[in-house]
Amino acid sequence: MKTPDEDHVSPVVTGAPVGPTPERLVPEEGDYQPSEDVQDFLINVGPHHPGTHGVLRLVTRLDGEKVVGLDVRIGYMHRSLEKIAENRSYPQIIAFTDRTVDYLAAMHNDWVYCLAAEKLLGIKVPERAEYLRVITGEINRMSSHLLSLGALGLDSGATTYFLWCFAARELLVHLFEELCGARLTYVFHRLGGVNYDPPPGWVERAHEAVHRVVDELPRYRTLFHDNYIWHQRSMGVSTLSADEARRLGAQGPVLRGSGVKWDLRKDMPYSIYQRFEFDVPVGAAGDVYDRTEVRFHEILQSAKIVRQALNDLPSGPIIATRVPRLPVAPKGAEAYARLESPRGEIGCYLVGDGTIKPRRMKWRGASFHNLAILPALSIGYTLSDLINIVGTLDPVMGDVDR
Amino acid sequence: MSSQAQRPPRGVDPPGRSVDPGVDPRPLLAEKLGAQVLETRTDPDGTLRVVVDLAAWRPAAETLREAGFERLDFLSCVDWDDHFDLVLQAYSPTSRIVVRLVAAVARDGSAPSLSDLWPTVGWEEREAYDLFGLSFAGHPDLRRILNPESWDGHPLRRDYVDDINITRPQYF
C-alpha cells in the first residue's frame, strides 16, 4: 500500500525564501533608531495572555510596534518537581514527571525519567516494551506537533486550521485513552517496561488513526502552510543562521529549522531507534516558516516510525521481571538520560542517596533552554511577530517552570 | 501556489556531521590545568566525569567550550549537607563525547559564572542561585528565576524548612 505522505508531500522541507519576501519585516544591522516622535515604552504581555501559551510573562520595551528590549519572566507555574522527587521513591516519581513537566508530551517525560532511573538502578527493558515506548512516543510527538501548529495558526488568525488540528489530534489522543485510560497524563511507563499491553485490535486501530491523520495533512497544507497570508507573516521573521543556532544552544525544531541536522534519535540513538528508517527534516532560513515546516514534516516522519514499529511489534513480556518494588541506588551513583522530545532535548539527572529516594533529580527541559534565547530571536521584530515567535518555540510552561 | 515549487528541496548534511573519535578532552584538561584536575572517571554509559578544583572551574569550562563541547545539558547543584557539588554537563556534537564537570563548593560559597560561554547557562545559574543560594561571580543578571523575589530561603537546600507548604508526613 502506498502511504499518503509519499503521494502528496516530499519528506524534505523548503528552501530559502524565493517568493515574495515581505521586506518590511526583515531587520538589518543597525536598523534600530529610536524614533523622534514615539518614545520607548514598556508593555507587559502575560502572564495571562492567550498568545503566550501558558503563564509566560514578557516585559517588552517597544519603539512604536518594534520590540527593542525583552525580559522573559518565568516561574508562575513552579511546582517544585525536583523537591517533590527528593521525597518520593523511584517508582512514585513517574506519576509526577508526566503532569508536572511538559504535559503535552507526557510519554516522553516518563520515558526519559525511566531511562535515567533504569540506568541508575541497572534494569533491563524487554523488547516489546521498547517497541511500545517508541510507538507511544512517536504518536505523542504527532499529537504534540499538531497542537503546536494549531495554536500557532490560532495566534496568527487561522481559527479553522486550529480546529482541524485538534480534530486530527483527537484521533491520536483517543488511542492513548484506549491504551491507558488517560488523554493527557498517561503514567504509561514503569521502571523496566510499560504498564499496559495494547487491548485487542489496538494495533489495527493505531494503523488506521495514523493513516487518517497523514491523509488529512495535505488538506492542512492547502489551508495554512501554502497560504499567502501565512507566508507574509512567517517568511523572513526571526531568521536564525545555523551557526547562530548552534552558538545559542537552540533546541529541537528551532535548531533544525535553521538547517542544523541534529536529532538525538539519529545522532545519539537511544532505545531502538537504529532499527527504523526515517528522515530528519531541516529548514534553511531558520525563520518562523521553516520551524513550522520542520514540525509539519516531523509529523509525517513520526507516522513512518509508528507504522514500522506497529508492523514489527514482537510478542513477549511488557515489563522486566524482578524489578524491586522499592529499588535502592547506591549513595553518589549518578545517571543522566536524554532523548528527543517534540520540543527538543530533554534530560533527567539522578543522583542516588543509598536509600529508596534520590538525593537529587535535575530536570533539563527543552522549553527552558529555548525560552532563554527568546530575546535573541525576537528583538527587532514587531510585537505581533513576537507572539508568532513564541509560538514557534512551542514552550510548555510546565517544562519551563517545573 | 505551492511553496514546494518556491523553495528548492534540501536535506543535505551540513559539513562536520560525521563522528570524529579523535577529540578527547582529558589531555587538553590535564595540559591546561595540571594538578587542579582532581579525578577523572568514565561512567558505564561513557560519560566522562571530571572533578576539578573550584579555582579551575572557569578554565576547565573554557577548555571544553573551545574543544567543541557546544551542546549544554545542564548546570546544577547537588547538596551533600557539608558542601555543594556544582555540576556542568555538555557534549560535543562531532565526537559525541559527554563530559560532566564537577567541583565542590562551600554551601555559602560562590562560583565564577560561565554565562558568556554557553548563552543558556545564564538561566541555569539563575536557577541554581534561586534554588540553592549559590552566587555566581560575574553573572550579568543574577536574580531569582522560578521563585518570586520576595521568597524566603532557597528551597532545594536539604536544610530548607517550610512548615506551611511542605507538611507531608514521613511514611517511610
With beta carbons less than 8 A apart as the criterion, state whether A381 and A391 touch. Answer: no
In this prediction, residues A283-303 reach a mean pLDDT of 89
> What DSSP string describes chain B?
--HHHHS----PPPTT-S--TT--HHHHHHHHHGGGEEEEEE-TTS-EEEEE-GGGHHHHHHHHHHTT--EEEEEEEEE-SS-EEEEEEEE-TTT--EEEEEEEE-TT-EEE--TTTSTTHHHHHHHHHHHH--EEET-TT---SSS-TT--S-TTSTT---TTT-------
CA distance A142 to A306: 10
In this prediction, residues A120-140 reach a mean pLDDT of 91
CATH of residue B33: 3.30.460.80
- B150–A contact, CB cutoff 8 A: no
Q: Is the pLDDT at B170 greater than 90, yes or no?
A: no
3-state secondary structure of A73: strand
In a domain, B45, yes or no: yes
The one-character DSSP state at A24 is G
In this prediction, residues A197-215 reach a mean pLDDT of 92
Of residues B3, B72, B79, nearest to A249 (C-beta): B72
Tell me what pLDDT residue A34 has. 55
| Nearest chain B alpha carbon to A374 | B120
**List of chain B residues whose C-beta atoms are within 8 Å of the C-beta of residue A372:** 119-120, 122-123
Tell me what pLDDT residue A138 has. 93
A4-34+78-326 belongs to which homologous superfamily?
A: Cytochrome-c3 Hydrogenase, chain B (1.10.645.10)
**How many separate domains does chain B show?**
1
How many Cβ pairs within 8 Å bridge chains A and B?
129
| Nearest chain A alpha carbon to B5 | A14
Tell me what pLDDT residue B164 has. 66
In a domain, B119, yes or no: yes
In a domain, B98, yes or no: yes
* A344, three cell numbers: 527538543
In a domain, B155, yes or no: no
- A-contacting residues of B 18-37, CB under 8 Å? none
Q: What residues does each domain of chain A span?
A: 4-34+78-326
**Residue-wise pLDDT tens digits, A321-343:** 888 888 888 888 899 999 999 99
- What radius of gyration do chain A's Cα atoms show? 21
**List of chain A residues whose C-beta atoms are within 8 Å of the C-beta of residue B154:** none
CA distance B100 to B91: 9
Cβ separation B14–A259 shorter than 8 A: yes
- B171–A contact, CB cutoff 8 A: no
**Residue-wise pLDDT tens digits, A251-272:** 889 998 888 888 888 888 888 8
ipTM: 0.81
In a domain, B92, yes or no: yes
Which of A83, A118, A228, A260 best tests the B interface by mutation, with the highest count of B CBs <10 A?
A83
Q: Is the pLDDT at A147 greater than 50, yes or no?
A: yes
In a domain, B125, yes or no: yes
Cβ separation B120–A281 shorter than 8 A: no
**Residue-wise pLDDT tens digits, B85-106:** 999 999 888 888 888 999 999 9
In a domain, B27, yes or no: yes
Q: How far is CA B34 from CA A179, B37, B48, B52, B53, in A?
A: 56, 6, 17, 10, 11
**List of chain B residues whose C-beta atoms are within 8 Å of the C-beta of residue A84:** none
With beta carbons less than 8 A apart as the criterion, state whether A332 and A352 touch. Answer: yes
Q: Which domain holds residue B124?
A: 21-137
With beta carbons less than 8 A apart as the criterion, state whether A32 and A380 touch. Answer: yes
Q: Is the pLDDT at A13 greater than 70, yes or no?
A: no
In a domain, B157, yes or no: no
